[in-house]
Amino acid sequence: MNAPVSASSVVLSSRRNRGRPLACFFTPGRIAVIGATERPGSVGRAVLENLQPFGGEVIPVNPARSRVLGLPAAPCIGEVKGPVDLAVIATPAATVPGLVAECAAAGVQGAIILSAGFGEFGAAGKQLQADVMAAARGVVRIVGPNCLGVMSPPTGLNATFAGAMARAGSVAFLSQSGALCAAILDWSLREKVGFSGFVSVGCMADVAWADLIDHFGDDPRTESLVIYLESIGDARSFLSAAREVAITKPIVVIKPGRTAAAARAAASHTGALTGSDEVLDAAFRRAGVLRVETIAEVFDLVEVLGKQPRPRGPRLTIVTNAGGPAALAADCAVTAGLKLAELSDKTLTSLGRHLPPHWSRGNPIDILGDADPDRYARALNAAAADPECDGVLAILTPQAMTDAAGVARRITGLCPLPGGKPLLASWMGAARIEEGEGILNAAGVPTFRYPDRAVRAFAHMWRYSANLTALYETPAGSTHAEGGRERQLKARKFLYAARAAGRTLLTEYESKRILALYGIPTVRTMVARTAAEAVTRARTIGFPVVLKLLSTTITHKRAAGGVCLGLRDVADVQRAWQQIKAAVTSKGSARDFLGVTVQPEVPREGCELILGSSIDEQVGPVILFGAGGEYVEVFQDYALGLPPLNATLARRLMEGTRVHAVLEGRAGRPPADLAALAQLLVDFSQLVIEQPWIREIDVNPVRVSPAGIVALDARMVLHAADIPGPHLPRPAIRPYPEIYVTTGRLRDRTAVVIRPIRPDDEPMMVDFHHSLSERSVWYRYFSQHPLEQRIAHRRLARMCFVDYDREIALVAVYTEPVTHEQGIIGVARLCKEHAQPEGEFAVVISDLWQGRGLGSLLLRELIEVGRAEQLHRITGTILADNVEMRRLCNRVGFTLSPTCDGECTAELVL
């Protein structure tokens, strides 16, 4: 029975019905081949021959022939009768802009440009590519130019000039290299690897990574995506698409360039430590994308993730009939960052009852060379049941008494393993193990000829799983401090003053003032313009003190002789003043010396860290955390991340360094306050996001000790004054949209805060779903979703960890005036369509708050968000009997249109 609810059930469902803007490339009905010819060895002929088995209609376009390879030809695309979905262009580069213009005029939806001579050929080629896009006029979507083409094996489409057609399968392969496409195609045919799509992207003049990731993310035939990537292109769109898809479909990237020398920013510790390839690694982690090193690893991983569940931890148990291969596998596991599971006493006892006296009595579990199928099964079953085990690798070598097929049959009978643990197998050998290997593969157990390769696959599985877990772990506490706008404006005063003076380098004093505004503790710092002032400041602070150069031109104070430590009296301060002034002016000029800063000398205890940010040309602002101090560039112990951070991501960043062990207290030191350090990283990331005029930040050292955390030195560099504000580098991850935070009042004058949803809202969202009746749930989802499903972490994480580039979810938050407890009482969600300026919306109000004007308040705010996001249209779907919601939509300006299935479409043109 439905729970009683208010008569005004303000609940609207939004059925995400994203269109398929790339369907013309993968499921076209009619294809025109422009440049089709019968000349042997030509691209035009190869494409036409490859398209012959295609089920749709293929029309050659050739002005000199009425028929090509027996097919009726048209002299130009404009002369083709009827609509054309896809054009494949194989003509000289100079002719392509005109041909694309003809395609646009003829209403062709998409074009694959195989021709070379565009963006890859210098300025002239780039101009020609720009001419192509101008000719497309936003009407024709373009794959290429300079590409191999597109295959859709499940539909039989081969719009390429490759020598063969790929097998149908569940892997989408996307490549920036046409030559690699050809090699992978040849390899896949031999290894019987199948594809749901096979795309050579070429110069990516139009259709880019994000478009393809979205397409195959929605494609039911695709279970995983493999990308050969040379450049990321638009980092924000790539990461936005990848983050949405990777949580349900593995995305595996192989990218060359790890060993290429990265450009160094000599003036910055941070710039000197970061290289673009390392930054891309950080970007991939942030999107849940897994990067591997070799082509073999790519397909190993695709197979494993397609067949087995993801491990919940890094603890691997090895069951083997041979000690040597198991020892090599154990070494590989430790090197790869895995752990060998510690077998419990219960497991050891169980194994002891069923194994010979001389078994290994540990992990790896060596069950000896004469192991039969029954012994393998008992050992594997006991190992998998151990709570310390996260996955099992079974190794078999074909000894004289070994029944490889029998062992395979027994262990596949144990699948799936308890607790959803993955099982991998390494059946070593050749002919004697082939039958067993086939049995395992048929049962969904991935097999490897060598155990080290299996271990690496498990390590990649764990990395992939751990990345996703970290990305969607609910952070502790809010990542957004009160008074953010006031803080931003105060910090910008320092930046504007420096820019007005023509400076790009802030003084240490200015840099520390900005850090302090963002809650980052700094050592007390006072400016002294004269020696007498320095003495006065030192007396105020208390000896011992430190003097440092105050300059707007010199970057590294220590290298210029601008630092004096351990000053214990007035005479020391006076001598240090003269020493710094003399050193600086002798190496530079009088204008380099503006005085000094005076600071207390902080005891040299605890741990020294570095915190920094710089701009990567591909992904924008990057954050660096690691071991700091004088030898920061010698030890190079650091990890990189993308802002903004939350507490969870900050912890993961710290865990990526060796110094983290010291911070945990493992080196005979007391543990640091890791929660406070994580919050410092969160605050620092907000500084990086909110102050885009800052190009580089070095905070080094940051002293962490039992006394607390304090930044001892800081340096900030601004972008050049001639860079227009709109052209400042933007973060690859869109930050929290503070501009949509507002307040409103209900009909009874109750005040509520309306703001975009945040990851730390998950606990309040659980309470919110408890407040919904069955009727409200029905109106929202058009079905009855059980409460336990609606409040599951995996689902709510996706609701709260919003990619603001793709979706804006507004929550109405009410604060109880007596207890000051906060709760979410309504949610309005706007899902933006990728590649289209429109969005779908949904609204749901807690039953206790319905009928008080909250739905109208949220919906009006959502419309304003749509306008600010430059959408042209907003739509939604309402059940026909949801009368109150239909009235509400009418009141705020939506047009309602009934459908034939008992629903109603609401549409608002903005």
- Say what angle helices 484-500 and 508-517 make with each other, to 10 degrees: 160
Give the integer Cα–Cα distance in Å for 38 and 32: 15
In 3D, which of 875, 884, 880 has the Cα closest to residue 899? 880
C-alpha to C-alpha distances, 453 to 261, 345, 392, 399, nearest whole angstrom = 29, 30, 14, 21
Q: Please say whether the beta carbons of 433 and 398 come within 8 A.
A: yes
- 3-class secondary structure, 775: helix
Q: How far apart are CA 608 and CA 508, in angstroms?
A: 18
Q: 598 φ, ψ to 5°? A: -115, 130
Q: Please report where in the chains the tokens 């060998």 appear, as a residue.
A: 340
d(CA 131, CA 114): 16
CA-nearest of 467, 454, 468, 464 to 297 is 454
* Distance from C-alpha of 232 to C-alpha of 257, rounded to nearest angstrom: 13
89 burial (CB, 10 Å; 0-12 / 13-18 / 19+) is buried
SS (H, E, C) 171-230: EEEEECCHHHHHHHHHHHHHHCCEEEEEEECCCCCCCCHHHHHHHHHHCCCCCEEEEECC
**Chain centroid offset of residue 7 CA:** 43
Query: Which pLDDT value is given to residue 54?
Result: 86
* Token pair listed for 87: 């054009």
Please tell me the predicted confidence (pLDDT) of residue 376. 94
Burial status of residue 306 (CB atoms within 10 A of its CB: 0-12, 13-18, 19 or more): middle
Strand partners, 756: 810
d(CA 908, CA 245): 29
- Among 604, 598, 600, 644, residue whose Cα is nearest residue 621: 644
Positive or negative torsion for Cα 842, 845, 851, 853: negative
Give me the residues paired with residue 743 across strands: 753
Report how far residue 134's alpha carbon sits from residue 49's, in angstroms, rounded to the nearest whole number.
31
d(CA 141, CA 25): 9
- pLDDT means per 10 residues, the chain with 910 residues, are 34 47 93 95 94 91 93 94 95 96 96 91 90 94 94 94 90 88 82 88 93 94 91 90 91 76 40 68 92 85 83 95 94 94 94 92 93 94 94 93 92 90 92 90 90 94 87 70 77 92 93 95 95 96 95 88 94 96 89 94 90 92 93 87 92 94 84 94 94 94 92 94 77 92 94 94 95 90 87 89 92 93 95 82 94 94 95 91 89 90 88
- Taking the C-alpha atoms of residue 839 and residue 872, their distance in angstroms, rounded to an integer, is 8
- The C-alpha angle 471, 297, 376, rounded to 5 degrees, equals 95
Q: Is 482 exposed, middle or buried (0-12, 13-18, 19+ CB in 10 A)?
A: exposed
Q: Minimal CA–CA distance to 564: which of 588, 590, 528, 591? A: 528
pLDDT of res. 135? 96
Q: Is 809 helix (H, G, I), strand (E, B) or coil?
A: strand
Q: Which single residue is written with the structure tokens 């083709």?
A: 80
Count of positions (residues) in the chain: 910
Q: In what order do the strands lie in the sheet with 149-152?
A: 157-160, 149-152, 194-200, 167-175, 224-228, 251-254, 290-292
Q: What token pair was written down for 242?
A: 């990848």
φ and ψ at 31, to 5 degrees? -125, 135
d(CA 163, CA 182): 8
- Check if the beta carbon of residue 657 is closer than 8 Å to that of residue 626: yes
Model pLDDT, residue 5: 31
- Residue 799 bridge partners (DSSP): none
Amino acid at 215: H
* CA gyration radius, the chain: 32
Longest dimension (CA), the chain: 100
Residue pair 682/479 in contact (Cβ under 8 Å)? The answer is: yes
DSSP string for residues in 485-543 = HHHHHHHHHHHHHHHHTT-SB--HHHHHHHHHHTT--B---EEESSHHHHHHHHHHH-S
Name the amino acid, one letter, at 802: V
Identity (one letter) of the amino acid at 842?
Answer: A
What pLDDT, on a 0 to 100 scale, did the predictor assign at position 429?
Answer: 87
Alpha-carbon distance 400 to 408, whole Å?
Answer: 17
Query: Can you tell me which residue has the tokens 């503070």?
Result: 738
**CA–CA separation, 538 and 560 (whole Å):** 22
Residue 316 token pair: 């691997």
Cα angle for residues 744, 826, 877 (degrees, 5° grid): 110
